[in-house]
Chains A and B, each alone.
Chain A
Amino acid sequence: MATRAEEIEGGTVVSLPVSAEWEADLRPRIARLRAQYFTHKPSVCLERALSYTEVFKETEGKPMVIRRAKGLKRICETKTILIQDDELIVGNAGRKPRTGILGPEMSNYWFDKELDTLSTRPQDPYIVDEEQKQLFREQIYPYWKGKTVIEHWLKRVPADTRALGYETGVIDVEIKTESGPGEIAPGYGEILLPKGWGGIRRWAEERLAALDPADPANEEKGYFLEAVIIAMEAMGILARRHADAARELARRSSPERAAELEKVAEVCDWIATEPPRTFHEALQLVWFAQFSLMIELNAPSYSPNRMDQYLFPYYEAALQSGELTHDEAQELLECLWIKFAEQCWILNANCCQYFAGYQGFFNVTAGGVKADGEDATNAVSYMMLQATMDCRLNSPSVAVRLHRNCPEEFLLKVAELARLGTGFPAIHNDEVGIKALLRKGATTEDARDWCLVGCVEPNLPGKLHQWSDYGHYNFGSAVEFALFNGEHLLSGRKLGLETGDPNDFETFEEFEAAVMAQLANELRHIAIQGHITEALHRDLLPCALASSLILDCIDNGADLLRGGARYKRGPGTLGIGIADGVNSLAAVKKLVYDEKRLTMDELREALRADFEGYEEVRDLCLSAPKYGNDDDAVDQYVRHFAHFVVAEHDKYDTLTGGKMMPSWYPVSSNVPQGMTVAALPSGRKAGKPLADGVSPNQGTDRLGPTAVLRSVGKFQHEDLDGGTLLNVKFEPQVLAGEEGLQRFAAYLRAFLDLPIYHIQFNVVDEKTLRCAQARPDEYRSLLIRVAGYSAFFVELHEDIQNDIISRTANARL
């Protein structure tokens, strides 16, 4: 397996590993579309920014929800429509595929500041040309000065919260001041496919007609419903313009392509107002909705959700009527997969570190159960996994819900995709997911319909409003503040609580309590600023389109951001560096309190010096027991943390009517958050990345993948109902061949027996082994297994290591 150099962009490998066999089997159209995809370098599009700016200038004084809906309509009327060669599913949020569309009403100061570095920055660069720079500086930027979400936020947020968040990144709360909330699972199966845009429009019209304008409660409702109607008009215009463009293009195309384009035109025309009749129409409609939502708020994580559930009836009908063969349906789905991958989400340079990889986090869910608990796997579930195996791009994110009654073949298909080592699919334990939904207040039947949003967040198609990025906090800083009485070592500022001189803590329990107090303080600051963000979203970013796709917004006449949805949970927080916190507590307990091998001050001095000149102290810290080895003495702290953090979250109400929601997954923020944390008692050096999700620290899990699961299974994952994330590494020999696949499937079944929510896999590759050779300390857990024998890779003689490296490079799964 190999990754092609040209497919690495902006610090991110966009392609998944490929092989010659894969290439030979790829459908020709998909091969061409995929190649075409790589010819587009990510670039900036200002069409949306310009439309919204114009409309806002024209509509001063109108209700915000209407102004924004008009902005959406304007861009649908004016945007560049591009249909590419070979496409069967058409349309882009920007003027070209792979464009970042700027939302100037949220934040744009950064764009002004970064205009000249945007195309060369190390993470996720975008091309921007001189004409665009001028357009932005003259026509867009001046209008929005003082009006954006971030500017409001900065004026409102208290100084101490600002210091902890915006200035030092101990808690990172920036992202939702930079973009809209997003993070919903639009009700495609519940609303859009059965009704079509026209049906939703009529629904809003009926509600509007029934409102008595003399009732003051109805003023806001009326504006909202009017906005929904405008948004529906916008969607109709968008579809019809694509139909026109397809017809126009057909005139200039080969007869074969012209027939395809005529078909595309027919599809677009129909779904401009009507509910889809065919598989093709359903896919195109979902795509229009997906990228239009992106236009509406430039927000991440609109989840196409349970595609196998809402597409299956169309698929079945298509096969029965002879409209499509299975193969043609698969090809159409893969065309959509490429469109999903094309969608970028543009962010400022800082945010990019937290959400690296361009993608808009479109998460599709396969498998699970139906409302009555029966297995829900169907042909489309397999097609979704196959589409990712075929397209091999880093987006969409594919998630599966596995349960004990899953068909064997589905489990094997999941194992087959997972052992490619791409991190896909994200595998979720259905039972735990359902329990998480119950915590959000869903009925049992609704809970069984759960899906994934974003990375690993449990959500509910068409019924729930929940977002997770209130803020990121980290366990490393909590330990640091407890050790230094609130001092942030890297800045020298007092940012934490004064929990007292740690030399005065007579017992370990006092120390642990100080760490918890620091954590509580981080969470409190997240809540304080989060309420401000929520209020600003509500006032400045009402979103009629998104709201129209979540029940009961139209019936309630209330936008999502005003609490219109049936269920409301969160917003939530993301806890980062759990293993760092756990391992630090375990090290302090053992070295300072139990064995007294270090005094608190010796430890503190060494940490302050980042262990420079204190290598012996670091060695002691590193040799303390670590999370991930099924060692109850260490793992108890992960349970303490979970318990504490969940209870703290329950203390904070949120504006949209939920409670603050806890989750433990990192996106990619374990890297930037690590930069603000000094050396830790776990032995981690200052500035280094924190652990990833609930996974052990790199290289410290020495007993293999079963022990990792046991450790990670020592707390109740469903209590962190915003989701948890676990990454497990496998050596490729373990997964090779039919036997390896079976074994892997058995491992997954055992995973379902444990109370763990999520798992995804990486496969150790040649590069990892080379790193291990160079830095054995970080890779102690790599194990080489053959019959009757096993050894840690880092202990082997160099020539044998080299031999294993070359075998790994040539390994075939």
Chain B
Amino acid sequence: MRRDEADVTEPGVTGRVFDVQRFSLHDGPGIRTVVFLKGCPLRCAWCANPESQRPDPQIAWFANLCVGCGRCAEACPRGAVTIDGGRPLTDRRLCAACGRCAAACPRQARRLMGCSVSVDEVMQEVRRDAPFFRRSGGGVTFSGGEPLSQPLFLLECLRRCRRWGYHTAVETCGYARWDDLEEAAGLTDLFLFDIKLVDPLRHERLTGVRNELIVDNLERLLALGAAVVVRVPVLPGVNDDRESMRALGEFVAGRPAVRTVELLPGHELGAHKYAALDLAAPTFGAPLRERLVSDAAEIERGAHGVECRVAQGLS
């Protein structure tokens, strides 16, 4: 590892962030602020945050809130928006994601997803909830997208959090350069590490990449002694079958350093975001909660001393 640079701030590092959410309760302990970094190397078929995938900003349009006033079309300098039957249509090949239409929209029906911010700006936002972190044992979670797809920015933010005494969590899909991950490990209190599928081929089919690098990174992190929660988004027809659950159980049992597993019930709450980006939404549905609870118990039985819980979800 490199020498500790906690007190050296690299000026001018910027990152692409698509949301900063305060009072987050499910991504690490306590009351947290989650910083969502934009861009992800995976393309999970079930992704509930489609706006997180591409690194560049995108314009979103929420049909429920739109009144068809046409101000977005007027505001667009590139003629990317046309009003058709009282609804704005965006030609995404013309759109440069400048956000002018969003600023002009009176209903907040258009929103620019992603903007470039400095570490200072992120930290100014984060520090606002410091009293809540302190009292609840919470802190800051960097999520995405894949936060490690912007390593310089991420590391700088983590360094600053360390210095200011905030608990840090990084939520990662694990598909990252080991060097970056290793450096992050020195600055991170908790990893929320996704293992979506154990089988490399199915992993490739459903996420776009094979999982060897991911598994390798997980093992190296565990070997460093990092605190890791393995998170598994569970989707009907993807990994909720007996076979996948057994494989997961074995995967966990074979890695005694894994102490905590969290099953995240899949959901279709992201559908409106797909629509907002003019994308077709996946339809995997949601798993039965009772099933997940018994699967979790099964995993606990198979792996000595592991805690396997089902995250709070809608199912």
Q: Total A-B pairs in contact (CB under 8 Å)?
A: 124
A743 engages B64 (CB within 8 Å): no
How close is A743's CB to chain B, nearest CB, in angstroms?
6
How close is A300's CB to chain B, nearest CB, in angstroms?
36
Partner of B132, one of A623, A746, A786: A746
A134 part of interface (Cβ distance < 8 Å): no
Query: Residue among A619, A794, A798 with the most chain B CB within 10 A?
Result: A619
Given A747-B136, A750-B31, A786-B314, 11 more pairs with CB closer than 8 A = A733-B312, A743-B136, A753-B134, A753-B135, A776-B64, A786-B267, A787-B231, A788-B143, A795-B64, A797-B271, A800-B272
How close is A214's CB to chain B, nearest CB, in angstroms?
65
B25 engages A795 (CB within 8 Å): no
Q: Which of B16-24, B78-86, B213-221 contacts A (4 or more CB under 8 A)?
A: B16-24
B108 part of interface (Cβ distance < 8 Å): yes
Query: Using a CB-CB cutoff of 8 Å, which residues 307-353 of chain A contact chain B?
Result: none
Q: Which residues of A contact B107 (CB under 8 A)?
A: 619, 777
- Against A, the Cβ 8 Å flags (1 = close, 0 = not) of B112-138 are 000000000000000011011011111
Q: How long is the Cα–Cα vector from A749 to B132 in the complex, in angstroms? A: 8
A-B contact list, 15 entries, CB within 8 Å:
A619-B69, A620-B106, A704-B21, A706-B23, A707-B128, A743-B136, A749-B135, A777-B107, A780-B108, A786-B311, A787-B26, A787-B312, A791-B270, A791-B272, A797-B271
Q: Which residues of A contact B138 (CB under 8 A)?
A: 746
Q: Which residues of B contact A753 (CB under 8 A)?
A: 131, 134-135
Q: Which residues of A contact B270 (CB under 8 A)?
A: 789, 791
A800 engages B271 (CB within 8 Å): yes
Q: Which residues of B contact A798 (CB under 8 A)?
A: 64
A790 engages B24 (CB within 8 Å): yes
Query: Using a CB-CB cutoff of 8 Å, which residues 208-246 of chain A contact chain B?
Result: none
- With A630-B128, A743-B31 known to touch, is A704 a contact of B23 (CB < 8 Å)? yes
Q: Which residues of A contact B267 (CB under 8 A)?
A: 786, 789
Count class of interface residues, chain A: 35 or more
Query: Residue among B24, B69, B269, B270 with the most chain A CB within 10 A?
Result: B269
Q: How long is the Cα–Cα vector from A800 to B108 in the complex, in angstroms? A: 20
Q: How long is the Cα–Cα vector from A746 to B69 in the complex, in angstroms? A: 44
Q: Which residues of A contact B276 (CB under 8 A)?
A: 795
B135 engages A791 (CB within 8 Å): no
- Against B, the Cβ 8 Å flags (1 = close, 0 = not) of A602-644 are 0000000000000010011011000000100000000000000
How close is A710's CB to chain B, nearest CB, in angstroms?
6
Query: Using a CB-CB cutoff of 8 Å, which residues 746-760 of chain A contact chain B?
Result: 746-747, 749-750, 753-754
Q: How long is the Cα–Cα vector from A789 to B19 in the complex, in angstroms? A: 11
Q: Which residues of B contact A706 (CB under 8 A)?
A: 22-23, 31, 128-129, 132
Residue in B closest to A708 when the chains form the complex, CB atoms: B23
A705 part of interface (Cβ distance < 8 Å): yes
Q: How long is the Cα–Cα vector from A797 to B268 in the complex, in angstroms? A: 10
B26 engages A785 (CB within 8 Å): yes
A746 engages B31 (CB within 8 Å): yes
Q: How long is the Cα–Cα vector from A804 to B31 in the complex, in angstroms? A: 23
How close is B289's CB to chain A, nearest CB, in angstroms?
11
A784 part of interface (Cβ distance < 8 Å): yes
How close is B297's CB to chain A, nearest CB, in angstroms?
18
Q: Which residues of B contact A795 (CB under 8 A)?
A: 62, 64-65, 272, 276
Q: Which residues of B contact A630 (CB under 8 A)?
A: 128
Count class of interface residues, chain B: 35 or more
Residue in B closest to A801 when the chains form the complex, CB atoms: B64
B30 engages A784 (CB within 8 Å): no
Q: Which residues of A contact B273 (CB under 8 A)?
A: 791
Q: Which residues of A contact B135 (CB under 8 A)?
A: 746-747, 749-750, 753
Q: Which residues of B contact A790 (CB under 8 A)?
A: 21, 24
- With A746-B136, A750-B136 known to touch, is A789 a contact of B64 (CB < 8 Å)? no
Query: Residue among A749, A788, A798 with the most chain B CB within 10 A?
Result: A788
How close is A742's CB to chain B, nearest CB, in angstroms?
8
How close is A408's CB to chain B, nearest CB, in angstroms?
12
Q: How long is the Cα–Cα vector from A705 to B31 in the complex, in angstroms? A: 11
Q: Which residues of A contact B271 (CB under 8 A)?
A: 797, 800
- Against A, the Cβ 8 Å flags (1 = close, 0 = not) of B15-42 are 0000001111111001100000000000
Residue in B closest to A622 when the chains form the complex, CB atoms: B106
Q: Which residues of B contact A797 (CB under 8 A)?
A: 64, 271-272, 275
B64 engages A794 (CB within 8 Å): yes
Q: Which residues of A contact B31 (CB under 8 A)?
A: 706, 743, 746-747, 750
Residue in A closest to B286 when the chains form the complex, CB atoms: A803
A800 engages B48 (CB within 8 Å): no
B313 part of interface (Cβ distance < 8 Å): yes
Q: Which residues of A contact B265 (CB under 8 A)?
A: 786
B59 part of interface (Cβ distance < 8 Å): no
Query: Using a CB-CB cutoff of 8 Å, which residues 111-170 of chain B contact chain A?
Result: 128-129, 131-132, 134-138, 143
How close is B137's CB to chain A, nearest CB, in angstroms?
7
Q: Which residues of B contact A771 (CB under 8 A)?
A: none
Q: How long is the Cα–Cα vector from A790 to B24 in the complex, in angstroms? A: 9
A787 engages B27 (CB within 8 Å): yes
Partner of A789, one of B49, B106, B262, B275: B49
Partner of B269, one of A616, A623, A743, A796: A796
- Against B, the Cβ 8 Å flags (1 = close, 0 = not) of A690-724 are 00000000000001111100100000000000000
Q: Which residues of B contact A32 (CB under 8 A)?
A: none
- Against B, the Cβ 8 Å flags (1 = close, 0 = not) of A790-813 are 110011111010011001000000
Q: Which residues of A contact B312 (CB under 8 A)?
A: 733, 736, 786-787
Q: Which residues of B contact A791 (CB under 8 A)?
A: 269-270, 272-273
A157 part of interface (Cβ distance < 8 Å): no
Q: Which residues of B contact A528 (CB under 8 A)?
A: none
Residue in B closest to A742 when the chains form the complex, CB atoms: B136
A788 engages B314 (CB within 8 Å): no
B171 part of interface (Cβ distance < 8 Å): yes
Q: Which 6 A-B pairs have the closest CB atoms?
A: A619-B106, A746-B136, A704-B23, A787-B26, A749-B135, A787-B311
How close is A456's CB to chain B, nearest CB, in angstroms?
22
A734 part of interface (Cβ distance < 8 Å): yes
Q: Which residues of B contact A796 (CB under 8 A)?
A: 64, 269, 272
Residue in B closest to A618 when the chains form the complex, CB atoms: B106
B22 engages A623 (CB within 8 Å): no
How close is A403's CB to chain B, nearest CB, in angstroms?
14
Q: Which residues of B contact A749 (CB under 8 A)?
A: 135-136
How close is A766's CB to chain B, nearest CB, in angstroms?
15
Q: How long is the Cα–Cα vector from A804 to B314 in the complex, in angstroms? A: 8
B264 part of interface (Cβ distance < 8 Å): yes
Q: Which residues of B contact A804 (CB under 8 A)?
A: 314
B30 engages A743 (CB within 8 Å): yes
How close is B278's CB to chain A, nearest CB, in angstroms?
15
Q: How long is the Cα–Cα vector from A798 to B128 in the complex, in angstroms? A: 34
Q: How long is the Cα–Cα vector from A623 to B109 in the complex, in angstroms? A: 11
- With A616-B106, A786-B26 known to touch, is A746 a contact of B137 (CB < 8 Å)? yes
A788 engages B48 (CB within 8 Å): yes
Query: Residue among A750, A776, A798, A803 with the most chain B CB within 10 A?
Result: A750
